[in-house]
Amino acid sequence: MKQDIILAGVGGQGILSIAFVIDNAALAEGLFFKQAEVHGMAQRGGAVQSHMRLSDRAIWSDLIPKGEADMILSVEPLEALRYLDYLRPDGVVVTSSTPYKNIPDYPDLEKVLDAVRKAPRAVIVDSERLAKEAGTAKAQNIVLLGAASGFLILKEAGLRAMIESLFKGRGGPVIEANLKAFDLGRKAASGS
């Protein structure tokens, strides 16, 4: 049993928080994992990705080979497209439909979403709307994690526990909002 995931987004969108939840849930389930991430220069509003590998056996490479990724999980639709050559022919793309436009030449959003829909399996969720509905616009990353959760080899309860752990210093309402964001994302994905 193994699962390789490319996490994608723009610096500051909370990719590493998604990774934190998955890493810790994997450890709690006794799985091996490796998670390569980007720091430094690349974080300044640039494209960021993290290679997340889960397995019940030891993992060699920190990087996912091209063609091995089971999932691209992106907090931003254009960024989802950047790593398609890593996706298995039968892989799934889970992405937000909310563009992050900090560049002058952002392509037409409909074309971007059309390109996402050409993936063998594509789940597109309106993370901005769902995060606001959950009570905090900051929780778009957790909406996406919820949307991806049905595809993950990790238990839902384990993920929820780690979301609580991630936000435990921020107080009850923040934890509640993020758990709701997770649930809304999960529900949106199951309906799509």
Partner 1 sequence: MGRQILLGDEAVALGAVHAGLSAGYSYPGTPASEIMEYLVRLSAERKDFTAAWSVNEKVAYEEALGASYAGKRALVSFKHVGLNVAADPFMNSALTGANGGLVVVSADDPGMHSSQNEQDSRYYAQFAQVFCYEPADHQEAYDMTREAYDVSERFGLPVLMRLVTRLSHSRSSVETREPRAQNSLNPGDRNDWTLLPVNARRRFGLLLDRQAEMTRFSEGNPFNVLRLNDRDRTLGVIAAGVGYNYFREAWGTDEGLPSFLKVSTYPLPGSLVRALVEHVGTVLVVEDGYPFIERQIQGLFGIAGKTVLGRLSGALPRSGELSPDSVRKALGLEPLPAHGRSGLPLAGRPPQLCAGCPHADTFKALNKALESYPGAGVFSDIGCYTLGALPPYNAIETCVCMGASVSMARGASDAGLRPAVSVIGDSTFAHSGITPLLGAAASDVDMTVFILDNATTAMTGGQPSFGSGERLKRIVEGVGVAPEHIRTIEPLPKNHDKNVGIIREELDHRGLSVVIAVRECIQESRKRRS
- Closest CB to partner 1 among residues 169, 191: 169
Stretch that binds partner 1, among 16-24, 124-132, 151-159, 174-182 (CB under 8 A): 16-24
According to the binding rule CB under 8 A, does residue 168 interact with partner 1? Answer: no
Options 99-107, 122-130, 154-162, 173-181: segment touching partner 1 (CB under 8 A): 99-107
Among 2, 29, 36, 109, binds partner 1 (CB under 8 A): 36
150-153 contact pairs (CB < 8 A, 24+)? 150/186, 150/189, 150/190, 151/70, 151/71, 151/92, 151/94, 152/3, 152/5, 152/22, 153/1, 153/2, 153/3, 153/31, 153/54
Give the gyration radius of the chain's Cα atoms: 15
Q: State how far the Cα of 79 lies from the Cα of 32, in Å rounded to an integer.
A: 27
Residues 6 or more apart whose CB falls under 8 angstroms from that of 51 comprise 4, 5, 6, 7, 34, 35, 36, 62, 63, 64
Q: Which of residues 136-165 bind partner 1 (CB under 8 A)?
A: none
Q: Measured from the CB of residue 40, what is the shortest distance to partner 1 in angstroms? A: 3
Least CB distance to partner 1 at residue 187 (A)? 27
Binding residues for partner 1 (CB under 8 A): 10-11, 19, 23-24, 27, 32-47, 59-68, 78-79, 81-82, 84-89, 91, 102-103, 105-107, 111-112, 115-116, 118-120
